[in-house]
Amino acid sequence: MTKILIIYTGGTIGMVNNPHTGALIPFDFEQIQQNVPELARLNYDLDVYSFNPILDSSNMDPQIWAKIAGLINERYEIYDGFVILHGSDTMAYTASALSFMLKNLGKSVVLTGSQLPIGEIRTDAKENLITALEIAATKSNGQAMVPEVCIYFDYQLFRGNRSIKYNSEKFEAFRSPNYPKLAEAGVNLSFFNNYISQQPGTALQLETNFNTNISVLKLYPGISESAVKAITRSSAEAIVMETFGSGNTTTAAWFTDSLQEAVDAGKLIVDISQCQGGSVELGKYETSKKLQQMGIVSGFDMTFEATVTKLMYLLGQGLTYREVSSLMEQSLRGELTA
């Protein structure tokens, strides 16, 4: 019988209304099972690991990511696939982080959750949970159909490190702006094999050392010199710079001088676009040519979530500045299109 491990971290999927305050509070997985009797009809051997206490996803951090990845690594040979129940707010961060922590992954790790609590009449939780389990259990020629960390929500399966949460009110909470969906659930489950990563030939490796000493510089018209230098002169080892369009910034001398000063001080600066779709193309316009010349690294079409977690991951591996710069511009887990 197919064995699936459900890792229950928390999130809206396992919430009920507090009778005293009206606010949503978490409950345990046994109550989820009571609300989804269909689980008993699935021909899977299901085990559950519940976090204690249950977490709001806003409290996710690299230590918790490492715990989740460690659980998967410890039980990797026991289970055919893994489903992680997680709050949607930071789900794309967790999915991206796990994709880097679980090197040579050969089984499905599917994150899902819901926009409405599982006890609500119109909840999306039941479908998301049941189909996520089906995806995690699906094999082809004895191997996992989707050997990736991915997100399933509202009938669509996305690569985890390509996903963003784009809507807090619709059931269609996630999108993958720069990479096609991996599968779609209709009357049948349709897998799009051309976009799914290939089964690795080597054993799973757990890599959980993350260095969180990074900063974010988001540009906007009229940004002040003091605001920029508060970031470029900070103690951060690396900076994610969210720029305009295909990687463009102001060409004001004080701005480029501030970036050059940071680069000269050994800070790694990664340029990603504020646009959800498209890619950074350093040097395409005059406004980004100087960035390219001073050694700013291109994030190409990576999401913000993937850029942040990849940078933390690489900085935690004890690599040189040159090695981190080079690897940020390479696809490690299918997170970018160079």
Q: Which residues are catalytic?
A: 12
Output the CA angle 46-92-166, nearest 5 degrees.
120
Task: Return d(Cα 286, Cα 140) in angstroms, integer.
Answer: 49
Pairing mode of beta strands 24-26, 15-17 = antiparallel
Give the largest Cα separation in the chain, rounded.
66
Which strands form 238-243's sheet, in the order they lie side by side?
A: 214-218, 238-243, 268-273, 297-298
| Number of DSSP helices (H) and strands (E) in the chain, helices first | 9, 20
What are the backbone angles phi and psi of residue 228, rounded to the nearest 5°? -65, -45
DSSP state of 244: B
Residue 113: exposed, middle, or buried by beta-carbon count in 10 A (0-12, 13-18, 19+)? Answer: buried
Task: Return d(Cα 7, Cα 25) in angstroms, integer.
Answer: 19
Amino acid (1-letter code) at residue 162:
R
Closest by CA to 148, choosing from 193, 106, 201, 209, is 106
